[in-house]
Amino acid sequence: MKKIFLLLVSAIGIFTACKKDRFGTLATSVITIQAKYPATFSQLLSSGANITLTNITDGSIKTATTNSNGDAIFSDVLPGTYNITANKNLTAAEALALTGISSAVTLNGVQNNATVTGGQNATFQLQLQGGSVGGLVIKEVYYTGSRTSAGGTYFSDQFIEIYNNATDTLYLDSLCIADAFGNSGLINPSSLPTPFNNDNSSVYASNIWQIPGTGKDYPLAPGKSIVIAQDGVNHKDPTLNPNSPVDLSNADWETYNERPDNRDADAPAVPNLSRVYFTGGFDWLITVFGPGIIIYKAPFATLQQVAIPGVSPTTAPRIKVPNTVIIDAFEALKDGSSATYKRLPTGLDAGFVFADDTYNKQSFRRKVNTTINGRRVLQDNNNSTSDFEKIALPTPKSF
């Protein structure tokens, strides 16, 4: 027993020696921990963040909250090695002011193995991250098409633009883009609303295209977008339609519908989406009367194939995409009185847009809600009526 007591005394003696300088006073340090918001936020320094300082030698823990300068100040910190964590919970209202999007979020920051040297004051900066606010949204849908100088119809210049409305980089790998089955309105006297309209929990897709990649091959930075062209070419080319409003030769992706008769040309400079499911004709023509578009992530094999009620059994089934996997949706109908033809559940999209005519070059672009550090934050209230504006000419990759 006496031996153990002596050992304890000497251990405490060594420990105490570490804490003291040559005058016998404790050689502690003042340590400042600064919590910083992600660069995409409207403010740099985070006040009210909870900071924890854990001494990894003895496990002792100190906590403090950052002040209005984003600093948490710890006096009397003993020399040693520390793990530092920062945590900040933002209410929806706080997130709205910082990110432009009203959504509660938790941010965290970590610095492990920070060295505190006896008697030397130090500042450590912790970058808060991990709480991405916002997501991928459909930024623009140009579906109306244009007229040729001879008055003919031209629809190969359609495109869909997808935008990263989040505060962090998002990955497009395996993202699917699909159009919903069903008429856009009373196109002809026999046009009926979709027979699937009693299901408010799913969208029934006619065609599905997918961005390839295995997880992190296709990053998209906050405030950046991709354009998916029906055909990735300059539609203003004299051999196509000089009246077309768009040059899509620099599109990020195109829908190349490979067929034995080569009716769809493969633009070599623009990568092709994967064709997951297709019931269309020569190309991915989204109806010029107004399409329903969804973006989602789900493996095709997990989705149910459902026959269209009331049609010939030889007609290809549609793919049931549950609302739960759908990231964003856009609905356009033939005109303002076509509401009964809505194909998308109101929970996904409470409204719809409509153009003044077909082939009139009008496009539909999501409104800008606010701009933070030059990054546009787009409005997303799950209602195409209020979230989108009708514009006279499409604006791929711009506003």
Q: Which residues bind Ca ion (CB under 5 A)?
A: 231, 255-256, 264, 266-267, 270, 272, 283
Distances (CA, A) of 242 to 85, 135, 160, 235, 274: 59, 36, 21, 7, 29
CB of 272 to Ca ion, least distance (A): 5
Where do we find the tokens 């030698």?
57
Decide whether 283 or 328 has the Cβ nearer to Ca ion.
283
Distances (CA, A) of 221 to 124, 135, 162, 225, 268: 27, 11, 12, 8, 25
**Residue from 230, 211, 228 nearest 219 by CA:** 211
CB of 258 to Ca ion, least distance (A): 9
Contact 364, 352 (CB under 8 A): no
CB of 260 to Ca ion, least distance (A): 15
Decide whether 267 or 319 has the Cβ nearer to Ca ion.
267
Q: Which two tokens stand for residue 149?
A: 């100088």
- Tell me the C-alpha distance between 324 and 1, whole Å: 66
What stretch of H or E contains 195? none
Decide whether 105 or 233 has the Cβ nearer to Ca ion.
233
CB of 144 to Ca ion, least distance (A): 18
Contact 271, 253 (CB under 8 A): yes
CB of 238 to Ca ion, least distance (A): 20
Decide whether 265 or 325 has the Cβ nearer to Ca ion.
265
CB of 384 to Ca ion, least distance (A): 25
CB of 394 to Ca ion, least distance (A): 17
DSSP state of 317: P
Backbone Cα Rg of the chain? 29
**Residue from 47, 49, 61 nearest 109 by CA:** 49
CB of 68 to Ca ion, least distance (A): 54
Decide whether 231 or 331 has the Cβ nearer to Ca ion.
231
Residues in the chain: 399
CB of 265 to Ca ion, least distance (A): 7
Amino acid at 54: T
Q: What is the distance, to the nearest Å, from the Cα of residue 335 to the centroid of all Cα atoms in its chain?
A: 30
Decide whether 20 or 259 has the Cβ nearer to Ca ion.
259
- Tell me the C-alpha distance between 351 and 370, whole Å: 22
Decide whether 190 or 239 has the Cβ nearer to Ca ion.
239
Decide whether 78 or 270 has the Cβ nearer to Ca ion.
270
Q: Please name the residue ranges forming H helices in 100-251.
A: none
Q: Which two tokens stand for residue 342?
A: 């809505």
Decide whether 74 or 256 has the Cβ nearer to Ca ion.
256
Burial of 362 (0-12, 13-18, 19+ CB in 10 A): buried
